[in-house]
Amino acid sequence: MNELTIRLLVTALPEQPHPEPVDLGIQDTAGNVHPGQPLSKGGMRFVCRLELLRRPAGLDFRGQHVHGRPGARFLYLSWKRRAAGPAPWLQRVKVPLTDVEAAINPAKPILQADITGRRPHDVTPIAWLAVVR
């Protein structure tokens, strides 16, 4: 398996942290945000694909949405301002990929995590679950 699909579930989105218009989505390395799909009972699902790299130091990731250095890769769920402001990001939640390897299952090529309530600088581990399509 050289690729992995990641699903991030947010069953209850926080109220917009500021009254200005924003775009919410998974941030790519060019600074664009890719929107999610609404869940049937509210909330959103955000999906991206990662390339898996086996290196002597362990598993690493590459892809359009992967941020950080080897050994400390992560995704960003971002609220990006639509209008110019002091910074493009109103808020970003870092989703570390450090705990992904233990959940990878070749028979279940999608890893899913519920990140509802995760705060911008949260460092608690993510509970990843391998699922089928």
Q: Per the structure block, which two tokens stand in for 65?
A: 């949405």
Whether the CB-CB separation of 4 and 52 falls below 8 Å is answered with: yes
DSSP β-bridge partners for residue 77: 26, 93
Residue 101 is given by DSSP the state G
Query: 16 pLDDT exceeds 60?
Result: no
Beta strands in 1-133 (DSSP E): 3-10, 22-27, 33-34, 37-38, 44-55, 58-62, 74-81, 89-96, 110-114, 129-131
**Taking residues 85-114, what's their average pLDDT?**
90
Task: Give the pLDDT of residue 12.
Answer: 83
Give me the domain span that covers residue 122: 3-131
Count: domains in the chain: 1
How far does CA 94 lie from the centroid of its chain?
Answer: 7
Listed residue (40, 41, 34, 46) closest to 9, CA to CA: 46
Task: Give the pLDDT of residue 14.
Answer: 63
Instruction: List pLDDT tens digits, range 70-85.
Output: 989 999 999 999 988 8
Task: Give the pLDDT of residue 120.
Answer: 84
Average pLDDT, rounded, for the chain: 89
Query: 39 pLDDT exceeds 80?
Result: yes
pTM of the model: 0.90
- Which one has a higher pLDDT value, 73 or 18? 73
